[in-house]
Structure 1
Amino acid sequence: MIGRLRGLLLEISEEEVLVECAGVGYLVRCGVRTLAAMPELGAEIIVHIESQTREDGTRLYGFLSKDERTSFQVLQSVQGVGPKAALSVLDVLTPGQLAQAVAHEDKTSVGRANGVGPKLAARIVAELKGKVLASVDFGPIVHTPAAPAKPSVGGESVAALVGLGIPETQSRLAVEQAMKQLGEEADLAAVIRASLKAMGK
């Protein structure tokens, strides 16, 4: 089974990347957060792989850190959580944030993931209690009150694009790339314009 790829990044699409290693191109499925963190095409990258073999063949899931791969594996130990839901959770929570959410029984944060309803979020928190922390070294858990959440420019931009009929996954990827280019202080209108431009809209 493939556990790691080191090669050239040749393509980035809405859900996957193409990595060439020793003349062989590997299609690797990634979450939105991972796709947004990819370097420029032609760069050499190291991708940590989770290989899953099914009736229709082998599928590769890729992550830029071992912690993300481990969290992906552990999430799927929860009943009702498959690869798609696990990727969705890691799109909204880093491994460290997931560990914090589980430690504090924060079902709301887990439930922000696309396709993860309240019942599944509660099950994830309950079944991963102690499990995530035992599997991944996230450092000390800091018990501090969470600050009230306020709408972010990125979140509002994604919502605006979805409102225009653009799929959420594509919207999130475009916004991540736009904010990387413009900086975190960019205003809503600028992020939306840059996102639409990147998608050729």
Structure 2
Amino acid sequence: MIARISGILAEITADHAVIDVNGVGYLAYASTRTLTAIGAVGGTVLLLTEMQVREDAITLFGFGSASERDWFRLLTGVQGVGGRVALAILSVLDTNDLSRAIASGDKAMIARANGVGPKLAQRIAMELKDKVGGIALGTGGAAPAPAGTAASDALSALANLGFRPAEASAAVGAASDELGPAATLDALVRLALRKASR
């Protein structure tokens, strides 16, 4: 299993990059978002990777962040979502937008990606709704809130009130974005409750 690659960016196209690692070129498919942020040909690059092995192919997928890779793994766990479709979704929606779309059941937003019809978008929203809470919270959906912070305490408060992890995460994430890092627990919980009830 290849978990990450680091080397010289040898080539970049609309859907993949080739990374030269000590004379060996690794082709990694990636989202438009990652390919845009990767830098210029000739520069040093580090990609987190996911390798898929099938009967007829071994394919490497590259990611600019751990949260994007986590979302890729979740998406490809849904029946009918292959690696290319997952990348199409991650090209159209950043991880925070995707988390909120799934938490709110917004299948129209998910269906904006190439290759995702209404039925598949609905299946993605339904199957992943209860899995979103552990992945994204706050700006960019980069990571769960660290324990002991106002955001993690607010998540716990909403969970104790009976909200599902996905709903609690989306509401607290939206409240955190609006109030900023200095928000108090009280303010976060009040705003998150208002956002969750919309």
- What's the TM-score bracket when you normalise by the shorter of the two chains? 0.5 to 0.7
Letter of the aligned partner of 2:170 in structure 1? I
Q: Is 2:171 aligned against 1:142? A: yes
Letter of the aligned partner of 2:121 in structure 1? A
Question: What residue in structure 2 maps to residue 78 of structure 1?
Answer: 78
Letter of the aligned partner of 1:36 in structure 2? T
For 2:105 and 2:97, how far apart are their aligned partners in 1? Answer: 12
For 1:85 and 1:118, how far apart are their aligned partners in 2? Answer: 14
Please list every run of 5 or more consecutive structure 2 residues that lacks an aligned counterpart in the other structure: 137-142, 146-168, 175-198
For 1:25 and 1:135, how far apart are their aligned partners in 2? Answer: 31
Question: What residue in structure 2 maps to residue 131 of structure 1?
Answer: 131
Q: Is 2:109 aligned against 1:109? A: yes
Root-mean-square deviation over aligned CA pairs: 1.9
- Structure 1 SS opposite 2:49: strand
- Deviation by residue 1:109-133 (Cα, 9 ceiling, x = unmatched): 1011111011111110000012132
Residue 75 of structure 1, CA deviation: 0.4
Question: What residue in structure 1 maps to residue 19 of structure 2?
Answer: 19
Contact map agreement 2:103 2:132 (CA 8 A) in 1 = no
Contact map agreement 1:7 1:46 (CA 8 A) in 2 = yes
| Residue correspondence of structure 1 range 1-201 to structure 2 within 5 A | 1-136=1-136, 137=143, 140-142=169-171
Residue 25 of structure 1, CA deviation: 1.2
Q: TM-score, normalised by structure 1?
A: 0.67
> Which gives a bigger RCO, structure 1 or 2 (Cα 8 Å, sep 6+)?
1
Number of residue pairs matched by the alignment: 145
Contact map agreement 2:134 2:144 (CA 8 A) in 1 = no
Please list every run of 5 or more consecutive structure 1 residues that lacks an aligned counterpart in the other structure: 145-201
More helix by share: 2
Letter of the aligned partner of 1:127 in structure 2? E
Q: TM-score, normalised by structure 2?
A: 0.68
Identity over aligned pairs, percent:
43
Contact map agreement 1:96 1:138 (CA 8 A) in 2 = no
Residue 135 of structure 1, CA deviation: 4.1
Residue 138 of structure 1, CA deviation: 5.2
- Deviation by residue 1:67-110 (Cα, 9 ceiling, x = unmatched): 11110110011111111211111111111111111111111110
Letter of the aligned partner of 1:141 in structure 2? A
- Deviation by residue 1:141-186 (Cα, 9 ceiling, x = unmatched): 2376xxxxxxxxxxxxxxxxxxxxxxxxxxxxxxxxxxxxxxxxxx
Contact map agreement 1:2 1:51 (CA 8 A) in 2 = yes
